[in-house]
Amino acid sequence: MARLVGVNGLLWVVGLTAIVAAVSAVARRYGVLAPIALVVVGLVLSVVPGFPAIHLEPEFVLVGVLPPLLYVAALETSVPAFRVNLRPILLLAIGLVIFTTVAVGLVVYAVVPDAPLALCLALGAVVAPPDAIAATAVARRIGMPRRIVTILEGESLLNDATALVLFRVTTAAALGHAAGLLGISRDVLVAAGGGILFGAVGALVAAYLHRRTKDPLLDNTISLLTPFCVAGLAEHFEASSVVAVVVTGLYLGHRLPTLMSAASRLQMGAFWRMVKFLLEGLVFLLVGLQLKEVVRALDTPLDRVVWVTFAVVATVVLTRFAWMYPATYLARLVPRVRQRDPAPSWRVPALLSWAGMRGVVTLATALALPLPLVGGAPAYPRDLFVWLAFAVIMVTLVGQGMTLPAVARALRIPPDDRTQDVLAEATVQQAASRAALAKLEEQAHTAPDHVVDRLRGLAEQRSNTAWERLGTTRETPSVAYVRLRRIMLEAERDVFRKARDDGRIPEEVLVRAQRELDLEESMLERSEEA
């Protein structure tokens, strides 16, 4: 069995990272969802003769992977959109998780009568939360409407906190610790309230450090350390590290334009994109690679495994549908809610119901299930419970994940109006250009006329570019500008490279010129994507 420690562990990490890069590249080339492809490749590799089983430690996921991924997801979440959709987000992140935990727990208690109820509920908490990575990765990839993506993002940011608190309470009860109503209420209050408190403290400290830092490298270092420090502090005081990291990320993401320099924001964006790509890829690959170890540990008769697996998977899928429709429509019986947010088509809750993919957090918490002894024998079939969590991941992540694009197309939910987005952007850009020109006129006397004229032209060009996207011309002037400017930039690079090779300029001059050209081309790429 391979463990990711020492020199051999480092070599395995390098090898797995290479697999992630290769599979992701192939998936993009053929339009396949990379998370699904990585899980499938992991499953295949796990049964290849000679390929060692890689043990996944729960702490590696809950402490090393989850905090940075939640943090970057929170950084990228729109706080105004999150606030507008807070009601459906909380109904899913709290209400649905509790509902699923109880439903699965009761079903498992009925079909596995030799297992204590507390541990059955613990398994319910394990499989209750949809994955924070899978849902948004698939939703964005297939182009779901913005509001659906926001609800899924918000749900995935907070549901792990609810599930982990329930897991902590139920496992404590299974181990014989006091868990009355008062104790449960205290645990929930400490977890949620403490998470908000430590998240707010972490946000204020990180914001203070970012404001005082001018070096992009230091800004990136602070950003990397923030989720781990906040999560570690919250866990030390038995508060919810998930809530703490999410609160910190939401605050900093909302304030980011005023906290950092432009250079720091650009470098941090590139840094977190790479971290997110690698961690997400490794997580999905490692989930698939657990098949060999999970199956090897399974010591329950096959017929029982099949029956219990069917019962649990069906309960997990059906409870989301059973919750989604009442949660969507019953709240709108209140006139104020109905006026502010009219009821959507039945297709919207149907799509949200099918987007309940589970992932690595489910597997990590399953591996953390305790094994109490009764009379020297295991109190319940832990191997079966771990398998059930793994089966739920495979069915929801691979099965629902692969079919989600087809379901979205079949439901024919109207996409966001691209024209309205472009129109809003053009209107705001025009106002921004006017504000910039007004500031320019105030300072025009401090610079030569030709410099002022050039800046006026730049402001007008930015405004015109936004309006051009509303047109139907095959190649707008801005697109032609990008195409021709790229050709010019490549010609400039060739001249500088040849001058360096001929010894007419030192390496430092080439590096400086190359950086300026790269920055300009990256701006061209961003304008083209927009």
Q: Quick count: other Cβ atoms within 10 Å of Cβ 454?
A: 11
Mean pLDDT, range 87-91, rounded to an integer: 92
DSSP string, 55-103: P--HHIIIIIIHHHHHHHHHHTS-HHHHHHTHHHHHIIIIIIHHHHHHH
Residue 426 and residue 411 share a domain = no
Mean pLDDT, range 327-354, rounded to an integer: 88
Question: Is 1 a domain residue?
Answer: no
Mean pLDDT, range 95-110, rounded to an integer: 95
pLDDT for 428: 83
Residue 426 and residue 508 share a domain = no
Q: For residue 382, how far is the Cα from the chain centroid?
A: 30
Residue 468 and residue 340 share a domain = no
Asked whether the beta carbons of 194 and 241 are under 8 A apart, the reply is: no
Residue 213 and residue 272 share a domain = yes
Q: Which CATH number covers residue 234?
A: 1.20.1530.20
Query: How many structural domains compose the chain?
Result: 3
- Find tokens 């402490």 and name the residue: 63
Mean pLDDT, range 231-242, rounded to an integer: 90
| pLDDT tens per residue, range 12-25 | 788 889 999 999 99
Among 259, 258, 226, CA closest to 245? 226
Question: Is 444 a domain residue?
Answer: yes
Residue 337 and residue 312 share a domain = yes
pLDDT for 110: 93
Query: Of residues 11 and 345, which shows the higher confidence score?
Result: 345
Could you give the CA distance from residue 395 to residue 388 in angstroms, rounded to a whole number?
11
Most confident residue range from 34-48, 162-176, 198-212, 511-525: 198-212
pLDDT for 432: 85
Question: Is 319 a domain residue?
Answer: yes
Residue 401 and residue 427 share a domain = no
DSSP string, 98-148: HHHHHHHHHHHHHH-TTS-HHHHHHHHHHHSSPPTTHHHHHHHHTT--HHH
Question: Is 22 a domain residue?
Answer: yes
pLDDT for 133: 66
pLDDT surpasses 90 at 311: yes
**By mean pLDDT, which of 220-234, 276-290, 392-406, 420-434 is the weakest?**
420-434
pLDDT-based confidence at residue 121 (cuts at 50, 70, 90) = very high
Residue 426 and residue 344 share a domain = no
pLDDT-based confidence at residue 104 (cuts at 50, 70, 90) = very high
Residue 421 and residue 488 share a domain = no
Residue 203 and residue 249 share a domain = yes
Question: Is 378 a domain residue?
Answer: yes
Among 332, 325, 375, 320, CA closest to 346? 325
**By mean pLDDT, which of 43-52, 413-422, 482-491, 494-503 is the weakest?**
413-422
pLDDT surpasses 70 at 373: no
Which residues are CB-contacts of 515 (< 8 A; sequence separation ≥ 6)? none
Question: Is 377 a domain residue?
Answer: yes
Question: Is 263 a domain residue?
Answer: yes
Of 416, 432, 449, the residue that ends a domain is 416
pLDDT for 316: 96
Of 416, 434, 460, the residue that ends a domain is 416
Could you give the CA distance from residue 363 to residue 461 in angstroms, rounded to a whole number?
52
pLDDT-based confidence at residue 412 (cuts at 50, 70, 90) = confident
pTM of the model: 0.84
Residue 443 and residue 388 share a domain = no
pLDDT for 478: 73
pLDDT-based confidence at residue 337 (cuts at 50, 70, 90) = confident
- Find tokens 């508060």 and name the residue: 239
> Where does residue 46 fall: left (phi above 0), alpha (psi -120 to 50 degrees), or beta otherwise?
alpha
Of 368, 394, 416, the residue that ends a domain is 416
Query: Of residues 527 and 323, which shows the higher confidence score?
Result: 323
What CA–CA distances, in Å, run from 149 to 81, 339, 351, 357?
A: 10, 22, 11, 14
What's the domain range around 426?
417-472
Residue 422 and residue 409 share a domain = no
Q: What is the mean pLDDT of the chain?
A: 85
pLDDT surpasses 80 at 466: no
pLDDT surpasses 70 at 2: no
Query: Of residues 165 and 131, which shows the higher confidence score?
Result: 165
pLDDT surpasses 80 at 399: yes
Residue 370 and residue 261 share a domain = yes
For helices 66-75 and 241-259, the axis angle rounded to 10 degrees is 40
